[in-house]
Structure 1
Amino acid sequence: MSAFEPNISIIIPVLNEADYIAKVLLCIKQNACANHIKEILVVDGGSTDATPSIAKAHGAKLLYGKKGRAAQMNLGAKEASGAILYFLHVDSLPPKDFDRSIANAVKEGKMAGCFQMRFNSNSRFLKFFAWCTQINHQICRGGDQSLFVDKNLFFDCKGFNEQYTIYEDNEFIQRLYKRVPFTILPSTVTTSARRYEEKGMISLQWHFGVIHLKYYLGARPNELYAYYQKYIAV
C-alpha cells in the first residue's frame, strides 16, 4: 500500500450533535495530511437538530441508519470504500498527522489500534485516567480513544455486536485483542470532558468501573444498558 494512497475511511456515528460535528470535521481537515483520507462517513441515527445539514456543509458523506452506535458504525463500515476503517467519536479530536500515523502503522503490519487520549480539562483526576490510556491492556481501552482497523479484519471479527446499546466499543476491541497484536499510537486524541462535568467526575468514573466489572462477571448487554440508564443517563 502506497503511503500516499487515500485508503482511510473515517466513520463518525452521530445523534443530535450539532454542537460538535463541525468541530470534529474541521479538526480532521486541519490535522490530516494530503491524500491519506478517502472519505468521511457521518452516520446519523435519527437526529432532529441540524447535525445532518452541518455534516453535509463540511463535505462529509451522510448515511442514515437505525439508532444505536454499534449499528451506525457497522453501516459505515459496510458502505466504506477505504482499506482502513477509522472509527471516531464526534467529541474526540484527532491529533496532527493522525492519518499518516495510521497509514504508517498499517504499512508496518499493525492491523488494529488506537491513539492515547487526553481530556480537555485540567482535572488531575481525569489526567490520571487519561495517562492510563498509554497502557496496552484491554481494560484501558475505550471508544473515546478512537479505533483504526483493517477492513478485512473488521469483517472477519463480525463487526460491532449490535446487541450492545452501550459498551459496544469495548466489547469489539476485546475481540480484536484476541485476534491480533493491538497497537497504541504515541499521539493523543483530545476528548470532551462534558459528561464528567455534567455528572460528577468521581461518580461517573465509578459507574463506568461498575459497568466494566459487570461485563467481566458475565452481565448481558441489556443488563449493562439498564445500569447505564439508571445511573448515568438520568
Structure 2
Amino acid sequence: MLSVVIPTLNAEKSLTRTLAALVRPTVRGLIKDVVIADGGSTDETRAIAEAAGARFVQAPRGRGTQLAAGAQAARGDWLLFLHADTVLQPGWDEEVETLLDRLQKRGAKGLDFAAVFRFALDDFSFWARMLERTVVWRCWLFGLPYGDQGLLVSRRRYDALGGYRPLQIMEDVDMVRRIGRRRLVFLRTPAVTSPERYLNDGYIARSSRNALCLMLYYLGVNPDRIARIYKKR
C-alpha cells in the first residue's frame, strides 16, 4: 500500500481536483493515507484537505522541506509524491498496481525502482503541446522528469537515498539523479498539471527560466541563489 504526499501553500484553487482523483472508491484499496505537508497556507487548504480525509502536517516553507516532512509522517511502504496542482487521470491506480505487482516479483531488487507519470498540461494551446513534447524528449534523452510528473518510490529506497533534501528549488532533479536513470520507470498515465503559471508568465519566458535554472544547477550554483532567479519576473 502507498502513501500520497502533497506539499501545499495556498492551494485551494487546485487541491480539490487533485484529491478527487485519490479518494475515489476504486483507489481506496491501494492508498493507505494521503498526507498534506503545508508550508503555512492562509486560505482554505487545510479545510479542503481535512474534508477529503487527508492528514494535515505543517512544515517549514520550501518544497524540499515539506516533502521530507510529509514522507516522515507517511505510513505506506510506497510513497507517491504529487504536486497540489497535478491531477492523475483515471486508470492511474490500475497501472501502479500492475507495476508494483511486477516489482514485487523481482524481490528486493524491485524495491530499488521508482516511477513517474506522463507530463500533460490542462491547456489546449499549441504551446502546451510543444512543451509536452519537449518534456518527452527531455525524459528520453536525459532521464530527467520533474516533480509535476509525480514520483513513486519505495520507502526502503527513499530512506536509503536520504530522502528529499531541504532545497528551495531543484529538489525533484536532485532526487531523480540520486535514484538513477536506469531505475526509473515511465508510466503511460498522464499527470495533468495546471497551466496557470505558464499562462501568467508566458510559455517561452517560463520555459526559458526553467532551462536557465537547470543549467545553473548542473554548473554547481547554490540552489538558494537559483531560487531567487526563478522567482524573478
Query: Given the two structures, how large is their TM-score scaled by the length of structure 2?
Result: 0.89
Find the aligned partners of 2:56 and 2:91 in 1 and give their Cα distance.
24
How many equivalent residue pairs? Answer: 223
Q: 2:107: which partner in 1?
A: none
Which moves more between the two structures, 149-158 or 106-115? 106-115
Which of 85, 89, 92 is the matching residue for 1:91? 85
Q: Secondary structure at the match of 1:160?
A: coil
Query: How far did residue 15 of structure 1 move?
Result: 0.8
- Summarize deviations over 1:84-105 as a string: whole Å, max 9, x none: 1000101100121322322321
**Residue 8 of structure 1 aligns to which amino acid in structure 2?**
L
**Residue 161 of structure 1 aligns to which amino acid in structure 2?**
R
Contact 2:169 / 2:224 at 8 angstroms: preserved in 1?
no
Q: 2:115: which partner in 1?
A: 113
Contact 1:113 / 1:185 at 8 angstroms: preserved in 2?
yes
Structure 1 residue 65 corresponds to structure 2 residue 59: yes
Query: How far did residue 123 of structure 1 move?
Result: 2.0
Q: 1:221: which partner in 2?
A: 223
Structure 1 residue 173 corresponds to structure 2 residue 173: no
Which of 153, 160, 170 is the matching residue for 1:156? 160
Query: How far did residue 32 of structure 1 move?
Result: 4.8
Q: Structure 2 vs 1, CA of residues 27 and 108 (structure 1 numbering), >3 Å: closer, same or farther?
A: same
Query: Given the two structures, how large is their TM-score scaled by the length of structure 1?
Result: 0.89
Q: 1:182: which partner in 2?
A: 184
Q: Structure 2 vs 1, CA of residues 32 and 73 (structure 1 numbering), >3 Å: closer, same or farther?
A: farther
**Residue 156 of structure 2 aligns to which amino acid in structure 1?**
N
Which moves more between the two structures, 217-226 or 23-32? 23-32
Find the aligned partners of 2:90 and 2:21 in 1 and give their Cα distance.
9
Q: Structure 2 vs 1, CA of residues 10 and 210 (structure 1 numbering), >3 Å: closer, same or farther?
A: same
Find the aligned partners of 1:102 and 1:133 in 2 and give their Cα distance.
21
**Residue 184 of structure 1 aligns to which amino acid in structure 2?**
F
Query: How far did residue 145 of structure 1 move?
Result: 0.6
Equivalent residue runs for 1:2-151 within 5 Å: 7-30=1-24, 32-109=26-103, 111-134=113-136, 135-138=139-142, 140-151=144-155
**Residue 175 of structure 1 aligns to which amino acid in structure 2?**
R
Residue segments in structure 2 that go unaligned for 5+ positions in a row: 104-109
Identity of aligned residues (%): 27
Q: Structure 2 vs 1, CA of residues 71 and 65 (structure 1 numbering), >3 Å: closer, same or farther?
A: same
Which moves more between the two structures, 51-60 or 24-33? 24-33
Q: Structure 2 vs 1, CA of residues 147 and 31 (structure 1 numbering), >3 Å: closer, same or farther?
A: farther
Q: Which has the higher helix share?
A: 2
Q: Secondary structure at the match of 1:16?
A: coil
- Summarize deviations over 1:22-74 as a string: whole Å, max 9, x none: 12111222485341111111111111111101110111111111111111111
